[in-house]
Copies of this chain bind each other. A is one copy, B any other.
Amino acid sequence: MPADPFTPGEVSAMDRALDLAARGVRGANPLVGAVILDADGATLATGYHRGAGTPHAEADALANARAAGADVTGATMVVTLEPCNHTGRTGPCSQAIINAGLGRVVFAVGDPNDAAAGGAAALRAAGIDVASGLGAGPAAELNARWTAATAERRPFITLKLASSLDGRIAAEDGSSQWITGPEARRDGQRLRARVDAILAGTGTVIADNPRLTARDADGGESRRQPLRVVVGRRQIPEDAAVRGSDGRFLQLAGHDPAGVAADLYGRGVRHVLVEGGATVAGAFLQAGLVDELVVYTAPLLLGAGTGSVTGLGVHTLADASRWRWDHAAGGATAMVGDDLRLRLEPEPALIRNNAKDA
A residues neighboring B (CB under 8 Å): 161, 163-168, 170-173, 175-177, 179, 282, 285, 293, 295, 297, 299-304, 307-325, 332-333, 335, 338, 340, 342, 344
Contact = CB atoms under 8 A, between A and B. Distances in A.
Contact of A315 (B164, B167, B173, B320): B173
Tell me how many chains of this kind the complex includes: 2
Given A164-B167, A335-B332, A303 B295 contact: no
A166 B317 contact: no
Contacts of A161: 165-166
A314 B167 CA distance: 14
A323 B165 CA distance: 10
Nearest to A282: B303
17 contacts: A165-B167, A165-B323, A167-B308, A168-B307, A170-B317, A171-B314, A171-B320, A172-B315, A173-B316, A285-B301, A299-B322, A299-B344, A301-B321, A301-B323, A302-B321, A303-B310, A332-B340
Contacts of A315: 171-173, 304
A261 to B, nearest CB: 19
A300 B164 CA distance: 16
A163 B167 contact: yes
A312 B324 CA distance: 31
Nearest to A339: B325
Contacts of A338: 324-325
Contacts of A167: 163-168, 307-308
